[in-house]
A and B are shown apart, each in its own frame.
Chain A
Amino acid sequence: MARMKFLCDAERCIECNACVTACKNEHEVPWGINRRRLVTLNDGKPGERSISMACMHCNDPPCAAVCPVDCFLQTADGVVLHSKDLCIGCGYCFYACPFGAPQYPRTTDFGSRGKMDKCTFCAGGPEPDGSVEEYQKYGANRLAEGKLPLCAEMCSTRALMAGDGAVLADIYQERSLRRGYGSGAPGWSTAYGRNDRGSPFGPGGPGTGGA
């Protein structure tokens, strides 16, 4: 089975923010929630690079390890999802996440946080595929329709790629070879450097690392 990954080629990204906009539109993400964002490194200096970043769907997800209510699950494709029915909005996953992926809607003026929201790799949530509840809580489930994440699908320079990690790696290495340089896949050592758990896990299942 495919192991789903994101790969953002920093040499190609032109910081057009189309991926960010596509994500917000596709999933009707509320104001203030940034499932995907663009970070520019060395802004205005030689060697400036922009990287589109969202949840990387890590092999050994730190968010799942620190969650006090054990609300995360990983699909057979390696996509890391979470249950908003179980989440209590404590914010621990943001402290543990290396990429700043978890987002929290502000529910009151006193800064209390609502249930966490993050990139789902366009794979919805634990609810039945394509159900209304799933769409309302997690947004569209494109994966169930046989489509890949919209951010990558509409990237004009093909900088952001989503899909089977082995295929992405092949494309990236091929193109780096042709153009003569490549600075590595941003975040890959952090996200996929650790061994995969081998089998999907879910709330209550063994091997979420924190229990």
Chain B
Amino acid sequence: MRPLHALLLLIVLLAAPTFAQAQLYQVPGQNSPTTKEQVPLYVPQDDKVIGRVSIPDEKLAVLVQPEGREWREWRSHTLRLAIGGLAIGMTAVLAIFFLYRGTIRIHGGRSRRLVLRFNWADRFAHWTTAVSFLIMALTGVILTFGRPLLIPLIGHQAFTPLAEYAKSLHNFVSVPFVVGLLMILALWLRDNVPEKADWIWIRTAGGLFSKAGGHHPEAGRFNAGQKMVFWSIVLGGIGMAATGYLMMVPFAFTGIGGMQIMHVIHGLLAAGLIAAVIGHIYIGTIGMEGAFDAMGCGVVDENWAMEHHRRWYEEQLRKGYVEGRQPAE
């Protein structure tokens, strides 16, 4: 065995210099440049280049990521167009609708008899979610639009602390938002299951465009429009929370491409939800007489309940939740 080893070693040692020589001294070939101008400087780079790094920060193994260019476009233009366009568009549609329809009155006037609509738990869940959402929407909008809109007004020195607080608040308030969101899901899921009656509501647009009033498609506790708001807030909110928390722990679960996608999803959901909430606030306040009472003090007028949620009203009547009326036997 030993002589064989020695022989092999000898062969390797003798072969090594020729092998190394072939590697070290490259002879100019057919493709070699003959003038300085032929040496390329700008090599087109359209793909991600990933190598290996010896430092612990693995994400730095990405040498070039041209996808940043698309993300820059999204962050600088598309995101602002989506949020601003949808919010302004929604407001414009509502303004036109308000001019056409005005405040939707209670057809039979107020009866002054009250029906319990949302108990303290319902209202706590709603307002926790609502206030957190408004704070996060406002702070998010500050970070998105602050540079073109606020910096020219208040200057760089004042905008940085504002943006800093906005960022912290945006992160912090996400916790009560998720608490409220989960409460909403638990409390109202049962009443938001789509049913056949919703189809009629959608077909007649909930009677929103019948000026005569009083012709409301039958609805349970929540009509199809409210169910749509519920599912947008719940599903959109969960999506925003998931992407938001993942952005708070950047690169913990995904690389640079994943983080960019996360930010795009977060922004698109934000644009959709802000527009949806503008509509929700409209119909809950100036859009409809008697609607705010439901979340304001928890009770609604009997006539409002009968007009808008007849089936639910009858249930409440049976349960004895209508003031001054005995539960039906």
Contacts and interface: CB of A to CB of B under 8 A. Distances in A.
B39 A95 contact: no
Contacts of A193: 42
A69 B27 CA distance: 53
Nearest to B252: A111
A109 B233 CA distance: 31
A111 B36 contact: no
B51 A182 contact: no
B43 A98 contact: no
Given A51-B63, A65-B75, A188-B43, 8 more contacts: A40-B51, A96-B75, A170-B36, A177-B38, A182-B33, A184-B41, A190-B64, A204-B155
Contacts of A197: none
Nearest to A53: B63
Interface of B: 26-29, 31-45, 49, 51-55, 57, 59-66, 68-69, 71-72, 75-76, 143-144, 146-148, 151, 155-157, 159-160, 163-164, 167, 171, 248-250, 252, 256, 259-260, 263
Interface stretch (A31-39, A130-138, A154-162): A31-39
B76 A180 contact: no
A92 B159 CA distance: 17
B36 A173 contact: yes
Contacts of A180: 26-29, 32-33
B33 A177 contact: yes
B70 to A, nearest CB: 10
Interface of A: 17, 32, 34, 37-43, 51, 53, 62, 65-71, 85-88, 90-92, 94-100, 110-113, 169-170, 172-174, 176-177, 179-190, 192-193, 203-204, 209-211
A125 to B, nearest CB: 15
A21 B27 CA distance: 35
A93 to B, nearest CB: 10
Contacts of A209: 76
21 contacts: A32-B57, A39-B60, A40-B51, A65-B72, A69-B146, A94-B250, A94-B256, A95-B263, A96-B72, A98-B66, A100-B59, A100-B62, A100-B65, A110-B248, A113-B250, A173-B39, A173-B41, A174-B36, A185-B42, A185-B43, A189-B44
A28 to B, nearest CB: 18
Contacts of A183: 40, 43
A209 to B, nearest CB: 7
A112 B38 CA distance: 48
B165 to A, nearest CB: 9
Contacts of B160: 69, 71, 85-88
B60 A100 contact: yes
Contacts of A184: 40-43
Contacts of A99: 63-64
Contacts of B65: 98, 100
Contacts of B26: 179-181
Contact of B68 (A62, A86, A173): A62
A112 B247 CA distance: 10
A179 B39 CA distance: 11
Nearest to B41: A185
A188 B41 contact: yes
A41 B315 CA distance: 70
A43 B52 contact: yes
A98 B171 CA distance: 27
B156 A204 contact: yes
A97 B69 CA distance: 8
B47 to A, nearest CB: 11
Contacts of A169: 41
A184 B65 CA distance: 17
Nearest to B66: A98
Contacts of A51: 51, 63
B80 to A, nearest CB: 10
A68 B44 contact: no
A15 to B, nearest CB: 8
A192 B41 CA distance: 10
B151 A90 contact: no
Contacts of B32: 180-181
Contacts of A203: 156
A69 B55 contact: no
A112 to B, nearest CB: 8
Contact of A69 (B163, B171, B260): B163
B281 to A, nearest CB: 26
